[in-house]
Structure 1
Amino acid sequence: MASTNTSSSSVPNNPQPEKQFASIVPRDDRLQLEPTISTSHHDMADVSYVVTGDMDEVYNRFSLRRKHVITAVLSFCSFLAPVSSTTVLSAVPEVAATFQTDGSIINLSNAMYMLFMGLSPCFYGPFCNIYGRKWVSVTSAVLFFGFSIGTALAPNLASFFVFRILTAFQGTAFLVIGSSVIGDIFKPTERGTALGWFLSGTLIGPALGPFVGGIIVTFRSWRDIFWLQTALAGTAVLLVCFLLPETIHYKRSEELHGLPRAKKAHKMWQWLNPFRVIALYRYPNLLTVALASSSLVWNMYSLLTPIRYVLNPRFELTSPLQSGLFYIAPGCGYLFGTFFGGRWADHIVKKYIRIRGERVSEDRLRSCLIAMGVVIPACMLVYGWSVEKRVGGIALPVIMMFLQGVAQLFCFPSLNTYCLDVMQGRSAEVVAGNYMVRYMFAAAGSAACLPAVRKIGVGWFSTISALFLVVATIATYITTLYGKEWREAMDAKKVARKEGENRV
């Protein structure tokens, strides 16, 4: 069932979930556990336990210092896959020369990288609900480390593609699990701030990656880019092993205890079935928020991917290092926005709690409307047409890239936290679905931007990106007005359908 509504009916016979949860949550007169039953794909009931009474108690298992350490570890891990998606951009001509191919083919490898970043959450989202956050993180980090070595040693173009794809599939796990961990340990009114810090890694990585790659490829081989990635991945393995505790409130694997092997396999398939994540988009509110996230990621990657091909000729630059310097502007914008975007989202939530007397998940989305619908489109238009018409010098596009970087950190904490809040029993799957859609658009943007810029110019391509953002903002605003009604209507239909099947 969407949102945080609870039901005291249909208590499951299996006592193990309550027993496991009770070991985490202190049992006293103020706290009790109530199961929430909701139907999902294949009409299987989802059982999620929530705390009633003193509801904040479940978020007090870790001290504030420990929460900060966990958030820092997650932010570092979330940096890895996105930075790998763009580090090679400054070295595209050099990689193409090594494998005797064209730069557009290497950019296609980057699009494939993000395509598999989009597919990965369908697997890791449900899996971390079954076995918990920690050991799924450890497994993903180890595999990311191994496949990074493979990329650095790739002897030919085919192996370069394969290892890049395998690395991408592992890296997105950090993004899904990280958001879920934030939801596990922070109260709803605090999550925006925490997610702002966590998401800084996912955004600073793509922006600073080409700058780092530009430095490396100017003085060393492009393969050293991936050796650096390997070293960072090794650090992530150590951090998640020793500093990331298990935070999940309830592992679904508890429901497998005592079941026959065939029944276990049947349940595992239903939980891990990727269509389970895709089926969430029957909810219109989740679809519109995914569209909003996708418009931002499309904008980011279509802005960053062609910089060397667009700005080097415009400003008569000759080296990868010089073009890499342009990536510092959006990177600094993301870092600056980290200090304010999440706090702004939490402020808006608290403001509407005071107005309504209750928390409505859709109110959080109001915090991103101006940044997404006005600031970023304006920056994209000024950036694109100033480069196209050769006006404003270097300063103007740099300032626009910085401002749109700041604005994006006023959007992503709001959108990601909404995914955690709106269906708390299936938050990992909602986040996974959101990342799946957004990285599909990132892949499309990476693949399409350079041919499109060559065909219609950077001005018109930036205009298309700006229009996409405006349309997504309108859809998000409509969600703030009607999202709660949509969720309740979908839940009512599911309950009615289930009751009808039970009568039959």
Structure 2
Amino acid sequence: MVEDVSSSSADKENTDIEKAKSHATSVHIPHTIFSLNEIRFMVFILTFAAIFSPISSTIYYPALGSVAEELQVSDTLVNLTITTFMIFQGLAPAFIGAFADAEGRRPAYLICFLVYIAANIGLALQSNYAALLVLRCVQSSGSSGTVALASAVVADISTPSERGRWMGWANAGALLGPAIGPIIGGVLAQYLGWRSIFWFLTIFAGVYLIPILLFFPESCRAVVGNGSHRPPKWNSCLLDPSLQKRIDADPSIVGPPIPPHSLRFPNPIKTLAVLFEKEAGMILISTGILFAGYYGLMAGLPSQLEANYGFDSLHIGLCFIASGAGGSIAALVTGRLMDYNFRRHARKLGLDASDTRRLRTLSSFPIEAARIEIALPFILLGAATMLVFGWVMRFKTNLSGPIILLFFIGACTTGAFTILASLTVDLFPEKPATATAASNMTRCWLGAAATAIVVPMVNALGTGWTYTIVAGLWLALCPALWIVIKVGPRWRREKEERAKEREAR
């Protein structure tokens, strides 16, 4: 009897899958039913939601001395809370990304914010080092998932031909955090004490959670398809009735049925598996090395500004504005450049860039070239400015020199990262949150290593040679990415052929 029920359930699921495939091929349906204004609203929400992870890391920097003094621990032990924060910043999205790809973006956002708020309350109230260390890890686990979720939502609601623009906005929020975090943290720590930093983050997150709960619609394609299948009531928002009316008025926009599935525990192995794919691995390692150099520079900057120019915490925080401003501007400009280059390659192949049916599977489209051709100039210019920055700091020139160079370093790093992050999502359209989590893992773990070694390297080699090494590593990324342009499409076709063989068995 049990076998009959199991067999019947399996047959029903297979039937649903076949219906979905036949529906997709026989009816032309829009990629998403969300209007342009609804997409803009969703991108606005996810852009600023992504701020919480980077701002939680950098807002803490100006208060390190005060924390060490009150808890009576060394500066080295307090700095350890930064390293562990970044380790969990890379680890936690592996779980939340897999969960979001299976169960939806809204419940994943809810989990992230509730964990984050609870951790901040604990950090504001704790009074010993062990609690600080543990709760910083919990805080990181809650906030870091928002970055992966931002890229996942963009993948849900945009086609490859327009994804660059929206990815630019999504990354602009994540890169604004490092610029404004030290400023806010410096002001709060100086006038209200370091505990006020965590009360500020608690209130900020609590207020921001309200519009997500009330107005942010579910977009995960495994749950709602192109948006035409409404989620369960517990996962609904106030926009759902208007979406349902739109569907009832025009049934032709309804996507294929969603195959049912049971609730699954997040599997972080899927995130690690992305790293071991040839094409994705090279892209992710390149992204990690790029941001490791940037994180290393940011971690070493406070002590160098203090030593060279005698700055206090507030003035050091103000210097971070340059890199943040450059990064935010680059993220927006880069998105437009990516979309332009995508359309250019589509025209060369005689394709319509807006034809989502033909471009949804990118097996014959050179997506690697369309993205990386824009990234390479950013990497080359970033390496040059990093090299100059190291020697400018070495010879203690006028402050205007380092500030201008920080602007360009932030712009180049962000531009290249935005492009490589978009390419990662392009290669894994069926699991964008998992792919972004893998990118986050390599970026944060290599960044954690960079922050741990940059000060000893500067002490041993000086700023000039330290950042010359970073520039050399960035230059070494160019041949690797050029290989991806040339060989990536073949690797992608081989992967698709292996997937078809597994399905046929």
TM-score by length of 2: 0.84
Contact map agreement 2:288 2:444 (CA 8 A) in 1 = yes
Q: CA offsets per residue over residues 365-395 of structure 1, 9 Å max, x none?
A: 22111101x111111111111111223x100
1:382 to 388, 413, 419: 388
Which stretch of structure 1 is more off in the superposition, 149-158 or 444-453?
444-453
Q: In the alignment, what sits opposite 2:420?
A: 415
Q: CA offsets per residue over residues 447-498 of structure 1, 9 Å max, x none?
A: 2222222222222221222122222232122111111111222343455577
Q: In the alignment, what sits opposite 1:8?
A: none
What SS class does the counterpart of residue 424 from structure 1 fall into? coil
Contact map agreement 1:145 1:233 (CA 8 A) in 2 = yes
Q: CA offsets per residue over residues 238-286 of structure 1, 9 Å max, x none?
A: 12112211011223997666xxxxxx68xx35xx332222122332110
Residues 17/66 of structure 1: CA separation in 2 closer, same or farther (3 Å cut): farther
* Cα distance in 2 for residues equivalent to 1:307 and 1:385: 14
Q: In the alignment, what sits opposite 2:287?
A: 293
* Cα distance in 2 for residues equivalent to 1:134 and 1:336: 29
Aligned length: 450
Contact map agreement 1:89 1:213 (CA 8 A) in 2 = yes
Residues 489/312 of structure 1: CA separation in 2 closer, same or farther (3 Å cut): same
1:356 to 331, 349, 353: 349
Q: CA offsets per residue over residues 105-126 of structure 1, 9 Å max, x none?
A: 2222111101101001210111
* Cα distance in 2 for residues equivalent to 1:164 and 1:110: 8
1:157 to 119, 125, 129: 129
Q: In the alignment, what sits opposite 1:3?
A: none
After TM superposition, list the pairs within 5 Å mapping 1:187-202 onto structure 2: 187-202=159-174
Matched, 1:273 2:267: yes
What SS class does the counterpart of residue 377 from structure 1 fall into? helix
Q: In the alignment, what sits opposite 1:139?
A: 111
After TM superposition, list the pairs within 5 Å mapping 1:45-56 onto structure 2: 51-52=24-25
2:36 to 64, 69, 75: 64
Q: CA offsets per residue over residues 293-333 of structure 1, 9 Å max, x none?
A: 1123212211111222111110122x211111111111111
* Cα distance in 2 for residues equivalent to 1:420 and 1:353: 19
Matched, 1:483 2:488: yes
Which stretch of structure 1 is more off in the superposition, 154-163 or 468-477?
468-477
Matched, 1:445 2:450: yes
Q: In the alignment, what sits opposite 2:465?
A: 460
Q: In the alignment, what sits opposite 1:90?
A: 62
Contact map agreement 1:293 1:415 (CA 8 A) in 2 = yes
* Cα distance in 2 for residues equivalent to 1:52 and 1:180: 25
1:221 to 178, 188, 193: 193
Q: In the alignment, what sits opposite 1:321?
A: 314
Matched, 1:249 2:242: no
Residues 17/216 of structure 1: CA separation in 2 closer, same or farther (3 Å cut): farther
* Cα distance in 2 for residues equivalent to 1:279 and 1:348: 30
Q: In the alignment, what sits opposite 1:43?
A: none
What is the aligned-residue RMSD (CA, Å)? 2.4
Identity of matched residues, %: 27
Contact map agreement 1:115 1:443 (CA 8 A) in 2 = yes
Which stretch of structure 1 is more off in the superposition, 215-224 or 375-384?
215-224
Q: In the alignment, what sits opposite 1:365?
A: 372
After TM superposition, list the pairs within 5 Å mapping 1:489-500 onto structure 2: 489-493=494-498, 495=500
Contact map agreement 1:294 1:442 (CA 8 A) in 2 = yes
* Cα distance in 2 for residues equivalent to 1:333 and 1:56: 39
Which stretch of structure 1 is more off in the superposition, 289-298 or 67-76?
289-298
Query: What is the deviation of 1:15?
Result: 5.9
Structure 1: state its 5+ residue gaps: 1-10, 20-31, 36-49, 258-263
Residues 52/402 of structure 1: CA separation in 2 closer, same or farther (3 Å cut): farther
* Cα distance in 1 for residues equivalent to 2:60 and 2:503: 50
* Cα distance in 1 for residues equivalent to 2:206 and 2:165: 28
Query: What is the deviation of 1:208?
Result: 2.0
What amino acid maps onto 2:321 in structure 1? I
Residues 105/323 of structure 1: CA separation in 2 closer, same or farther (3 Å cut): same
Contact map agreement 2:101 2:432 (CA 8 A) in 1 = no
Contact map agreement 1:90 1:308 (CA 8 A) in 2 = no
What SS class does the counterpart of residue 447 from structure 2 fall into? helix
* Cα distance in 1 for residues equivalent to 2:304 and 2:54: 22
What SS class does the counterpart of residue 13 from structure 2 fall into? coil
Q: In the alignment, what sits opposite 2:206?
A: 234
Residues 216/351 of structure 1: CA separation in 2 closer, same or farther (3 Å cut): same
Query: What is the deviation of 1:54?
Result: 7.1
* Cα distance in 2 for residues equivalent to 1:54 and 1:326: 55
* Cα distance in 2 for residues equivalent to 1:343 and 1:206: 23
Q: CA offsets per residue over residues 392-427 of structure 1, 9 Å max, x none?
A: x10010000001122233222211211221121222
Residues 284/211 of structure 1: CA separation in 2 closer, same or farther (3 Å cut): same
* Cα distance in 1 for residues equivalent to 2:346 and 2:137: 44
Which stretch of structure 1 is more off in the superposition, 417-426 or 319-328?
417-426
Residues 80/459 of structure 1: CA separation in 2 closer, same or farther (3 Å cut): same
Q: In the alignment, what sits opposite 2:324?
A: 331
Q: In the alignment, what sits opposite 1:6?
A: none
Query: What is the deviation of 1:235?
Result: 2.1
Q: In the alignment, what sits opposite 2:340?
A: 347
What amino acid maps onto 1:283 in structure 2? E
Q: In the alignment, what sits opposite 1:38?
A: none
Q: CA offsets per residue over residues 44-101 of structure 1, 9 Å max, x none?
A: xxxxxx9447767022x11111111111110111000111111111222222112222
What SS class does the counterpart of residue 222 from structure 2 fall into? coil
Contact map agreement 1:56 1:187 (CA 8 A) in 2 = no
Residues 55/282 of structure 1: CA separation in 2 closer, same or farther (3 Å cut): farther
* Cα distance in 2 for residues equivalent to 1:448 and 1:416: 26
Q: In the alignment, what sits opposite 2:13?
A: 14
* Cα distance in 1 for residues equivalent to 2:410 and 2:27: 39
* Cα distance in 2 for residues equivalent to 1:385 and 1:54: 61
What amino acid maps onto 1:347 in structure 2? Y
What amino acid maps onto 1:395 in structure 2? S
* Cα distance in 2 for residues equivalent to 1:17 and 1:118: 36
What SS class does the counterpart of residue 247 from structure 1 fall into? coil
TM-score by length of 1: 0.84
What amino acid maps onto 1:151 in structure 2? L
Q: CA offsets per residue over residues 110-165 of structure 1, 9 Å max, x none?
A: 11101101001210111012211111111211211111111122211111111110
Which stretch of structure 1 is more off in the superposition, 203-212 or 447-456?
447-456
What amino acid maps onto 1:480 in structure 2? I
Residues 12/341 of structure 1: CA separation in 2 closer, same or farther (3 Å cut): farther
* Cα distance in 2 for residues equivalent to 1:401 and 1:294: 19
Matched, 1:178 2:178: no
